[in-house]
Amino acid sequence: MSVVSAIVSEAGERLDVAVSRATGLSRSQSARLVDDGAVKVGGVVRARSHRVEAGDRLEIDVPDPAPTPIPEEIDVPVVYEDRWLLVVAKPAGLVVHPAPGHPSGTLVNALLARAGRLPGPSVRPGIVHRLDAGTSGLMIVAKDDEAFDRLRQMLAAREISRTYLALVEGSPSPAGEIDAPVGRSPRHRKKMAVVAGGKDARTSYRRVEALRETALLEVKPHTGRTHQIRVHLAAAGYPVLGDIVYGRDRRLAASLELKRPFLHAAGLAFAHPVTGEPVSLEEPLPADLERALTLARGVSRTSR
């Protein structure tokens, strides 16, 4: 990553336009940097709509370019496939696409070996939505341009239903909704947080099972912000067990033998982007999360 410093000469421009002018990056790339909190105006993070003044100093963290993915033979379970798309059951620990310092061993590398060609940007071809490296479960991948464009539109219009299972700390209410903006943490650049001026984000949940120190939730994100579920649940007071970034009780996570966040993309439902036929898929908990849940239930029983 490199830091670009620039003095604004054109007053009244939107911040993302000023960043594009200073770096030579596209408008969309510049807007993404602003949204990620990688741009400061006089030492302060601002929204992309902020109007700069002549003489303002910009400090811009420009990431290193992502490596171009190459096909690799990596076994990834495919639970649905046709000529237009496929749905994989991503294992925990598998990074979705290459990034600086992580050029190989990703889901995209595996998909290129399977499909040969995928639509969309060269650094993340076929990827309609992402899962964090530590999150397991169902992910849609487009195989042609028509499906890619339509699926992205459907995702933006909230026409794809995604259901997650999360084991959380504490005792949440039987059901609830968290509607709070998510953006880059002003204190920790690598973390997200509920912040004023962040992107609109909404998450709903239903309690499936209440245990002694934990609860199993069915969670539905209605928007797709980075780390949204983990940030929202932590902000509401019941962080995901095993989450070393946003969690609290490492002792409890260790007692359940969790080595990653207990977060699993368990369900997908959508109308097929080409045929219109309904697609509904479910993926059971992997062995490590099933064991953690069994241990949590055992703690609950022995405490009675």
- Can you tell me the distance from the alpha carbon of 285 to that of 216, in angstroms, rounded to the nearest whole number? 12
CB-CB contact of 219 with 204 (8 Å): yes
Choosing from 16, 35, 56, 132, which is the catalytic residue? 132
CA distance 168 to 263: 9
Q: How far apart are CA 161 and CA 264, in angstroms?
A: 14
Distance between CA atoms of residues 233 and 230, nearest Å = 5
- The CATH class given to the 78-156 domain equals alpha beta
Given this model, what pLDDT does residue 304 score? 46
Task: State how far the Cα of 247 lies from the Cα of 57, in Å rounded to an integer.
Answer: 36
Domain layout of the chain by residue ranges: 2-62, 78-156, 161-302
Report pLDDT for 302. Answer: 52
From its phi and psi, is residue 206 left (phi > 0), alpha (psi between -120 and 50) or beta? Answer: beta
For the chain, 304 residues long, give each residue's pLDDT as a single digit of tens: 678 888 998 889 999 999 998 888 888 888 888 877 788 899 888 888 899 999 999 999 887 777 778 888 999 999 999 999 999 999 999 999 877 767 788 999 999 998 888 998 877 889 999 899 999 999 999 999 999 999 999 999 999 999 999 999 999 999 999 999 998 787 776 789 998 878 899 999 999 999 989 999 999 999 999 999 999 999 999 999 999 999 988 899 999 999 999 999 999 999 999 999 999 999 999 999 999 999 999 875 555 4
Q: Please check whether residue 216 is in contact with residue 159, taking contact to mean a CB–CB distance below 8 angstroms.
A: no
pLDDT at 1: 61
Q: Is the fold of 78-156 the same as that of 161-302?
A: yes
132-159: b or e for each residue (b if 16 or more CB lie within 10 Å)?
Answer: bbbbbbbbbbbbbeebbebbbebbeeee
Q: What is the pLDDT of residue 43?
A: 86
Give the class (CATH, top level) of 2-62: alpha beta
Are the C-beta atoms of residues 39 and 15 closer than 8 Å to each other? yes
Structure tokens at 205: 């949940």
At how many degrees (to 10) do helices 27-35 and 15-23 cross?
120
Active-site residue, 132 included: yes
Q: Into which CATH architecture does domain 161-302 fall? A: 2-Layer Sandwich (3.30)
**Tell me, what DSSP letter sits at residue 108?**
H
pTM greater than 0.95: no
